[in-house]
Amino acid sequence: MDSVGKDCKELKHAYENCFNEWFSESFLKGKKDDPCAELFRTYQECIKKAIKEKNLNLWELQRDVLGTSSEKAAPTSKS
């Protein structure tokens, strides 16, 4: 899956690769250092910028909709 921001796509994949290697090769063997932390921070800043540029509200992403009256409601227009 790609990132929410097209400019963050390469960072996302680089972080995922770093994390997966660290998790399987180090963390599961008891090594707790995190060589991916700086890469994660860089990716996180990129995501925050993309979310802001797209005017996305994070609370909307976490709001329960399924099984509520909001599920079938028409979307509100953003002017």
Parse the chain into domains and list their residue ranges.
6-58
With a threshold of 0.85, does the pTM exceed it? no
Is the pLDDT at 22 greater than 70? The verdict is yes
Whether residue 14 contacts residue 42, with contact meaning beta carbons closer than 8 Å, is answered with: no
Give residue 38's pLDDT. Answer: 97
DSSP 69: G
Q: Cα–Cα distance between 25 and 13 in angstroms, integer?
A: 18
Whether residue 58 contacts residue 14, with contact meaning beta carbons closer than 8 Å, is answered with: no
Give residue 26's pLDDT. Answer: 94
Contact residues for 7 (Cβ-Cβ < 8 A; gap 6+): 46, 49, 50
Which residue from 1, 9, 2 is spatially nearest to 46, judged by alpha carbons?
Answer: 9
